[in-house]
Structure 1
Amino acid sequence: MFGVLGLGAVGICGIAVAALEPAGRFSWVNEGVAEIGARAGLTVQEIVVRGQHNTPRELIRAAIGIRNGDPLLAFSPEAARQRLESIAWIESAEVQRNLSGNITVDIHERRPFAIWQHQNDFAVVDREGRVVSADTLDAFGPLPLLVGVGAQKSGAAVYDLLARSPEVQQRTQALIFVSQRRWNLRLHNGTDVLLPEGHEDAAIARLAELQRTQALLDRPLVSIDMRLPDRLVVRQQPQPEAPPVNHARGRGRG
């Protein structure tokens, strides 16, 4: 207890001197306090990280920036928190430094929501559209596929509408954002469903009803255009042409 109280007094004196001396003196005093604390036994004894699932551990270690045995008072919890929150996977972090020598880090990670395809690039994004990984695309199980510029930021709302209509959702392979205005659904059988801009909820509900009553989504169609409010335009697959029939003529014997 005496060592801790004495060290606190040294720290207070250092701050008072720094207020009167140039910036170089401030740096020297802080380093001196850390060294005095280390000699008094105030070193890092244990670093506990909680909440890490997808964030690479080497990135966390680098962001914390301290190891067991380093001077405890040379460690800034606030600076470590800022470095941790600059990592794409980490939404927020809490860092605490205890005079017992323990440092605890609580991490709150972003959750992988979908795979975003932009041109020929693929990345895992969270619900807000922030890219969290571009390497391990298959490490999180099946995820929705969002395609197009801006799809990563707006796709969650359309996906939630699909979740209300499982007949449509289970047949949907990708959500395609067209001209950053409206959505197409690409079905597993290759059919494109053209949704109306701003009225996706009503269109998806109507599509689910047509599936229940007419199995529309299971038909071999090129597209289902729902952009007009008063009609549904269905484009069918072209029928293969019948092969030409050759009529062989018999030849008489001469």
Structure 2
Amino acid sequence: MDRSPARLRRDAREPARRARGAVTSKPPARPSRLRLWLRRRRGLARPAGLGLLGAGALLATVLAVMAADPYGRLAALWDSTADIGASAGLKVQEVVLEGSRNTPHELVREALSVRRGDPILAFDPQAARERLEMIPWVRTAHVQRLLNGTIRVKLDERNPFAIWQQDRHFSIIDREGKVVESASLGAFGPLPLVVGPRANEGAAAMIDLLRTQREVNDRVEALVRVAGRRWNLVLRNKAEVLLPEGQEEAAILRLAELQAKQALLDRPLVAIDLRLPDKLVLRLPQAAAPAGPDPALQRVRNGRG
């Protein structure tokens, strides 16, 4: 073991050096205010992030339930939301109706099923639109729910086009042949008259065709559908014009020429038969015949000829 004088002097100085080092060492640095603030922010960020994740998960769950059963499981939740909105002042204040000329207002009110003061969030615009479009006069409906308390309704109505007689029942129809009214027929002014089963289906094409020949159209009282296949014209002087099936346009042009040259439609005739393209058959009144309709023509008028 080395016990030289130099080693002994080093060993004697070592405890003093350690003591000085212990006294002179710096205490641990105290964190600054900035670091403390950042640590607190990081501590708050984690709960906030978890909260956002939880809200996202809840929203995804709600959307999934709505997709699976939008009118069942969420009905009570939606009613509660509507009640909360009503307590916050979100109530129906007024209903603005546009485009209604012939649609009865009582049917509109019934379709909307809403009154002033009702929770506006409980009003379903889509369901109201579907109910409105079930009204015969309404072609399409647009319904808006505004959070200022206004419900705006705009109707696109069907236009009265003709009167359809089937048996003894009269109805107003539009161009598409849809029945829109069966009462107050005189409120819509003079309209063309179409008669017979399925006469409503092809009435628009025939009426448009007649309107191209004014001299003929002005003398027509009614269009009669015969057996669902062809048309007859009943003139104002009670004569009948028998038109060929599928050749109505050519026959009416021919009739207009005969009227222009011979005033055929103003003659006292019972019937004008145009069903054969190369022949014109005129039926004259019989002086000896008793008053009353011709049985053959009566069958045609009734749709059996």
**Fold-level match, TM-score > 0.5?**
yes
Equivalent residues of 1:14, 1:30 under 8 A apart:
no
Task: Give the letter for the 2:109 counterpart.
Answer: R
C-alpha distance in 1 between matches for 2:166 and 2:105? 28
TM-score, length-scaled by structure 1: 0.86
Task: Give the letter for the 1:131 counterpart.
Answer: V
Q: Deviations over 1:54-106 (max 9, x none)?
A: 01000001101101110000000000000000000100000001111111000
Deviation (angstroms), 1:136? 1.4
Task: Return the match for 2:196 from 148, 161, 168.
Answer: 148
C-alpha distance in 1 between matches for 2:287 and 2:241? 20
Equivalent residues of 1:44, 1:72 under 8 A apart:
yes
2:41 alignment counterpart? none
C-alpha distance in 2 between matches for 1:13 and 1:79? 27
Equivalent residues of 1:18, 1:26 under 8 A apart:
no
Equivalent residues of 2:65, 2:73 under 8 A apart:
no
1:49 alignment counterpart? 97
2:164 alignment counterpart? 116
C-alpha distance in 1 between matches for 2:72 and 2:95? 31
Q: Deviations over 1:201-243 (max 9, x none)?
A: 11101101111111100111010000001010000111259xx
Q: CA RMSD in A?
A: 2.1
Deviation (angstroms), 1:14? 8.4
1:102 alignment counterpart? 150
45 and 16 in structure 1: CA distance in 2 versus 1, 3 angstrom threshold: farther
215 and 27 in structure 1: CA distance in 2 versus 1, 3 angstrom threshold: same
List gaps (5 residues or longer) in structure 1.
Answer: 1-11, 242-254
1:89 alignment counterpart? 137
TM-score, length-scaled by structure 2: 0.72
Task: Return the match for 1:79 from 124, 127, 140.
Answer: 127
Structure with more strand by fraction: 1
C-alpha distance in 2 between matches for 1:13 and 1:77? 26
| Partner SS for 1:151 | coil
Select between 15-24 and 228-237 the one with higher mean Cα deviation. Answer: 15-24
Equivalent residues of 1:124, 1:137 under 8 A apart:
yes
1:179 alignment counterpart? 227
Larger radius of gyration: 2
Residues paired across the two proteins, number: 231
Task: Return the match for 1:208 from 256, 275, 282.
Answer: 256
125 and 229 in structure 1: CA distance in 2 versus 1, 3 angstrom threshold: same
80 and 28 in structure 1: CA distance in 2 versus 1, 3 angstrom threshold: same
Equivalent residues of 1:116, 1:145 under 8 A apart:
yes
2:34 alignment counterpart? none
- Which 4+ runs in 1 deviate beyond 3 A? 12-25
Matched, 1:130 2:178: yes
List gaps (5 residues or longer) in structure 2.
Answer: 1-56, 290-305
| Partner SS for 2:270 | strand
Structure with more helix by fraction: 2
Task: Return the match for 1:157 from 205, 219, 228.
Answer: 205
C-alpha distance in 2 between matches for 1:170 and 1:207? 13
Equivalent residues of 2:144, 2:152 under 8 A apart:
yes
